[in-house]
């Protein structure tokens, strides 16, 4: 829907404003929105390496369709922040070509739904070229943009692509949740010599999270391929990524009142998947619930379930519960949309089922 907005920003240069929703004056914690985290990560990487450049629709003059690239055009100039015509296939191809040569492009898709128009270049060119050229041509490119459902944008703006990109060898797929994740993982992605698909979430851009001093250091980056335990627990493991981590944490609070101590794992990296941490957690709690926004068939939850069965089958005390979005194109009407996406109540119910605290709703379907 934002694609329709084509107005250029006023000619007057905009000062880079870092908007902090609340200022905490303690020395250890500072709050930062995910948007600011991404913006500062891009800023730091662009100043550290002159080969990094941004490309995408509305990233320059408009300051970014979601204001993630605010102020960067003013700071680095039009050669390093390139506003592109509306051709995903075109600018993805150009980005891949530039990466072949040795530059480090960061290609922004207004949403990953539109990246489907460029998917041949992402998969057949970016992901496979290092292998097919026997290591001679590496593709140090980052594809980033919002992924998954926003609010009231309909079917062609709401699909989650984590499972699709997660299936491709040659790609790395990251799904940050908090500001610290966003900041650290984006820096790691830009520095990585392999093509990275960086799936953000539009609704998380405005959310603020506390960040430690360490994160603010320019040299900081989060290692790729490591999940994070957001909340420790001992009764059941809830594995989620992106926005669903927030929902899982809320569900864990509700469950705590019922005496269920849930462990919430933030995957952070879909490919490579942190198999060892998921296994370690399940071996500790013996129960697993996976949560994702995307379509259920062949989803991330299906992969996690399969790997648990392969590695830790004997440790499971209950079948794995898989929560995913409804198997329909996303409806627009607000009530239907709400029903098509996992909500906190769904996570609570599924976790209780995994703990044998409730009878399945549809026992006879």
Partner 1 sequence: MHLICHYIHEPLYMFSPITHTHTQHKHLVSNLFWKRFFPMSICRLARSRTITRFLKTKICPFEIHERLITPNYSFFHACSSYKTLAGNFTRKPHELWDKTANILAFRRFESARAGEQAEAVSYTDDDEDENQSIDFPGGRVTFTPQIKFISESTDKRVPCYRVLDDDGYPFAGSRSEQVDKETALKMYKSMVTLQIMDHIFYEAQRQGRISFYMTSMGEEAINIATAAALSPDDIILPQYREPGILLWRGFTIEEFANQLFGTKNDAGKGRQMPVHYGSKKHNFVTVSSPIATQLPQAAGIAYSLKMDNKEACAVAFTGDGGTSEGDFHAGLNFAAVMEAPVLFICRNNGWAISTPISDQFRSDGVVVKGQAYGIRSIRIDGNDTLAVYSAIRAAREMVIREQKPILVEALTYRVGHHSTSDDSTKYRPLNEIEYWKTARNPLGRYRKWVQRNGWWTDEEETELRGSIRKQVMNAIQVADKTEKPSLKELFTDVYDRLPLNLHEQEKSLRETIKRHEQDFPADVPL
Cβ neighbour number for residue 352 with a 10 Å cutoff: 18
Task: Tell me, yes or no, if 88 is annotated catalytic.
Answer: yes
Site for partner 1 in 150-189 (CB under 8 A): 169-170, 172
Strands 321-323 and 269-271: unpaired
Q: Does 120 engage in binding with partner 1 (CB under 8 A)?
A: yes
Interatomic CA distance for residues 104 and 93, integer angstroms:
13
Please, which of residues 28-87 interact with partner 1 by CB under 8 A?
Answer: 79, 82, 84-85, 87
By CB under 8 A, which span of 56-64, 192-200, 206-214, 294-302 interacts with partner 1? 192-200
Q: Which of 56, 64, 71, 95 binds partner 1 (CB under 8 A)?
A: 95
The two three-digit tokens of residue 31, written as one number: 């709050």
- Cβ nearer to partner 1, comparing 98 with 305: 98
Q: Per rule CB under 8 A, is residue 248 in the interface with partner 1?
A: no
Nearest C-alpha neighbor of 55 from the set 130, 145, 170: 145
Check binding of 259 to partner 1 (CB under 8 A): no
Which residues lie closer than 8 Å to 340 by C-beta, 6 or more apart?
325, 326, 328, 330, 331
Cα 108 to Cα 64: distance, rounded to the nearest angstrom: 9
Using CB under 8 A as the binding rule, whether residue 94 contacts partner 1 is answered as yes
| Residue located via tokens 């509700």 | 254
Classify the C-alpha dihedral 14-19-25-30 as positive or negative.
negative
Supply the DSSP string of 213-247, one letter for each residue: HHHHSTT--PPTT--EEEE--SSEEEEE-THHHHH
Binding mask 209-238 for partner 1 (x = CB under 8 A): ----------------x-------------
At its nearest, how many Å lie between partner 1 and the CB of residue 350?
A: 28
- Contact status: 147 vs partner 1 (CB under 8 A): no
Question: Considering only residues 3, 29, 131, 306, which one is a binding residue for partner 1 as defined by CB under 8 A?
Answer: 131
Q: Which residue of the set 58, 157, 183, 337 is catalytic?
A: 157
Told to judge if 298 belongs to the known catalytic residues of this protein, a careful annotator would answer: no
Q: Which residues contact partner 1 (rule: CB under 8 A)?
A: 79, 82, 84-85, 87, 89-103, 105, 120-121, 124-125, 129-138, 169-170, 172, 192-194, 225, 272, 275
User: Mind telling me the catalytic residues?
Assistant: 88, 157
């Amino acid at each position: 829907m934002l694609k329709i907005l084509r107005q250029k920003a006023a000619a007057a240069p905009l000062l880079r404003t870092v908007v902090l929703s609340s200022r905490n004056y303690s020395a250890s914690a500072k709050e930062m929105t995910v948007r600011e985290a991404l913006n500062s990560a891009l800023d730091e990487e662009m100043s550290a390496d002159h080969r990094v450049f941004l490309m995408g629709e509305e990233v320059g003059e408009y300051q970014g369709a979601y204001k993630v690239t605010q102020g960067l055009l003013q700071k680095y100039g039009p050669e390093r922040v390139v506003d592109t015509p509306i051709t995903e296939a075109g600018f993805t191809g150009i980005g891949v070509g530039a990466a072949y040569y040795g530059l480090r492009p960061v290609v922004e898709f207004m949403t990953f739904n539109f990246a489907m128009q460029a998917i041949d270049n992402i998969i057949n060119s970016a992901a496979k070229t290092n292998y097919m050229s026997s290591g001679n041509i590496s593709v140090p490119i980052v594809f980033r943009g919002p992924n998954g459902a926003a609010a009231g944008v309909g079917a062609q703006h709401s699909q989650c692509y984590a499972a699709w990109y997660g299936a491709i060898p040659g790609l790395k797929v990251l799904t940050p949740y908090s500001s610290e994740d966003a900041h650290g993982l984006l820096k790691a992605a830009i520095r990585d010599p392999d093509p990275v698909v960086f799936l953000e979430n539009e609704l998380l851009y405005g959310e603020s999270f506390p960040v430690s001093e360490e994160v603010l250091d320019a040299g900081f980056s989060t290692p790729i391929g490591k999940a994070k335990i957001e909340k420790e627990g001992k009764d059941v493991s809830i594995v989620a990524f992106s926005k669903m981590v927030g929902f899982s944490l809320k569900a864990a609070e509700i469950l705590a009142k019922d005496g269920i101590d849930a462990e919430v794992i933030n995957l952070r990296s879909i490919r490579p998947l942190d198999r060892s941490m998921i296994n370690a957690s399940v071996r500790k709690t013996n129960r697993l619930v996976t949560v994702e926004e995307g379509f259920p068939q062949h989803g991330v939850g299906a992969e996690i379930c399969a790997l648990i069965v392969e590695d830790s089958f004997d440790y499971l005390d209950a079948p794995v519960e898989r929560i995913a979005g409804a198997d329909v194109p996303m409806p627009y009407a607000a009530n239907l949309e709400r029903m098509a996406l996992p909500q906190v109540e769904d996570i609570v119910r599924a976790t209780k089922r995994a703990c044998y605290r409730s009878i399945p709703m549809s026992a006879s379907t």
